[in-house]
Structure 1
């Protein structure tokens, strides 16, 4: 069966995506200010921001399969989804480093070395840094389209690191982190299958 022909991209501009993407962060910080995040507000806030970062990473990874398999063309919004994912990772890290650890960098460094789930999470953050730094048109022109595309494949191990960080953080193996991990693996597995099928004689 022939693949679905991509539909024309929606006419909606990208700025509403950024605006809507900020709503969860505003909501959770608002809840925190007014003491509505429960007995351990920092833990709830860190968890919520990290979960939204993973959701936006997954949404960005889903753009290509949706376009190629279902003909839903959201390519216009992939950059916005990636930048929102990075923003939520920054907020997640900021709550931990500033509000939880009080900018005690020695303690933060010790946590990175001592706690594997933090080590993995920090690795994912470092993988996202060059992607965020080159997420504008001038960087594409400077690097060249092919080099830029190669660099931005770092999102794959970054998403894996984010999913693994979530699973290791919870420790008791509940369903939710495993579902996120399964979605990430499925999206990356689709890319592997697609690449191999195109190389097959």
Structure 2
């Protein structure tokens, strides 16, 4: 009964407020950086917090299918908005790193090549680019069944994003490991039961 109530309310809620609200958190972080409330290295703090925000929204989008499967709550209509907002945050995370942190083209290329956590993060971002570009009705119609297969790239992308977070926070810190474990769990529970039986039988 509770699931039906949530579903009924969700059907009435438009998606456009999500897009309008999306710029507010990074704008607030930028303001906090300008007025000196993000610590001794505000650029790094802003860069990391925006990146973490992108990962969190991407995780929220990944929760929608198991939420429907196990509780009956259907929030599928918000998944595209969450995915695009996550891509927006992750793109901002990358731009802050490029334009405010490193700023030197040769150093950017060197870091991507020599620092594994940056390499992993860049691969994750590149996997998300075709998903963002095809998150529209025209692309869905043109690609047909291929669209769903293409959007499976979100799974390795979010996994690599979590690995990037773990590698960034050197020393096996608890927080990034919890994010990684949560993402692995969300990916595992998406597997159909028949595959589990086949795998372990």
- Quick check: TM above 0.5? yes
The answer to whether 1:58 aligns with 2:91 is no
* Equivalent in the alignment of 1:190: 189
Q: Please give the alpha-carbon distance, in whole angstroms, between the structure 2 residues aligned to 1:14 and 1:138.
A: 18
Query: Equivalent residue of 1:72, what SS?
Result: coil
- Mark the runs of 5 or more structure 2 residues left unpaired by the alignment: none
1:164-179 equivalences in 2 (<5 Å): 164-179=163-178
1:34-113 equivalences in 2 (<5 Å): 34-102=35-103, 104-113=104-113
Q: Please give the alpha-carbon distance, in whole angstroms, between the structure 1 residues aligned to 2:62 and 2:91.
A: 19
* Equivalent in the alignment of 2:123: 123
Query: Equivalent residue of 1:10, what SS?
Result: helix
* Equivalent in the alignment of 1:30: 31
Q: CA deviation at 1:175?
A: 1.3
**Pairwise CA RMSD:** 2.1
Q: CA deviation at 1:40?
A: 0.7
Please identify, of 21-30 and 190-199, the stretch whose mean Cα deviation from structure 2 is larger.
190-199
Please say if residues 43 and 100 of structure 2, whose CA atoms lie closer than 8 Å, have aligned partners that are also in contact: yes
Q: CA deviation at 1:162?
A: 0.3
Please say if residues 50 and 92 of structure 2, whose CA atoms lie closer than 8 Å, have aligned partners that are also in contact: yes
Q: CA deviation at 1:156?
A: 0.1
Q: Please give the alpha-carbon distance, in whole angstroms, between the structure 2 residues aligned to 1:154 and 1:61.
A: 12
- How many corresponding residue pairs? 196
* Equivalent in the alignment of 2:143: 143
- Mark the runs of 5 or more structure 1 residues left unpaired by the alignment: none
Q: Please give the alpha-carbon distance, in whole angstroms, between the structure 2 residues aligned to 1:134 and 1:198.
A: 34
Q: Please give the alpha-carbon distance, in whole angstroms, between the structure 1 residues aligned to 2:163 and 2:113.
A: 17
Q: Please give the alpha-carbon distance, in whole angstroms, between the structure 1 residues aligned to 2:185 and 2:108.
A: 33
* Equivalent in the alignment of 1:132: 132
Q: Please give the alpha-carbon distance, in whole angstroms, between the structure 2 residues aligned to 1:194 and 1:44.
A: 42
* Equivalent in the alignment of 2:153: 154
Q: CA deviation at 1:23?
A: 2.5
Q: CA deviation at 1:141?
A: 0.8
Q: CA deviation at 1:164?
A: 0.1
Q: CA deviation at 1:173?
A: 1.6
